[in-house]
Structure formats: structure tokens, C-alpha cells
Amino acid sequence: MAQQFVGTDPVKPTGTPGGVGVVQLVSFSGSVDLQASVDGTNWTSIDTFTVPAVKAVTLAPQMRIVQTGGSDAVVKLEG
């Protein structure tokens, strides 16, 4: 079952790190930066979205979103 990101709280994917997961951005305004971390401290941007999308991504031990401008984003991760 897909996990929903809440604020900038990290999500620990259920899949194996290095495996492939799917991110779905359902609704938002502004931009959403999808970030990943191996240690939970240092974050690296994977991709920035400005429109709703579905995208396959490489899973990291921890992932989060950072939204700039607009209302709250609805972003889900399967994997």
C-alpha cells in the first residue's frame, strides 16, 4: 500500500534501497522537491515537480518532500 508524505517528515520505503519505487504527485501548487538520504541527515534532491505526475524512482533508505509555495501537496510513494 502506498505511503503518503506528511510535511517534510521522512518516509522509510518498504522496498529495498536501490530498488525501484513509484511516486505519485496528485495535487499541489508551487513546486515539490523529492529528496533522498542514506543517513537521515544529508538530503539530496532527486527531482523537482511543478505539475502532477507519476514517476519511477530509485529508493533510498529515507525519502521526503519539500514544498515551495502554494498549498499542501498530496504525494504518495509505493515501494
User: One digit per residue, pLDDT tens: the chain, 79 residues?
Assistant: 899 999 899 999 999 999 999 999 998 889 999 999 999 999 999 999 999 999 999 999 999 999 998 878 899 999 9
* 15 located within any domain: no
The number of distinct structural domains making up the chain is 1
* 75 located within any domain: no
Q: How far is CA 68 from the centre of its chain?
A: 14
The predicted structure's pLDDT at residue 17: 93
* 76 located within any domain: no
* 78 located within any domain: no
* 77 located within any domain: no
* 39 located within any domain: yes
Query: What residues make up the domain containing 37?
Result: 20-67
* 53 located within any domain: yes
Instruction: Spell out where the chain has E strands.
Output: 3-4, 20-27, 31-37, 44-49, 53-58, 62-68, 74-78
The predicted structure's pLDDT at residue 54: 97
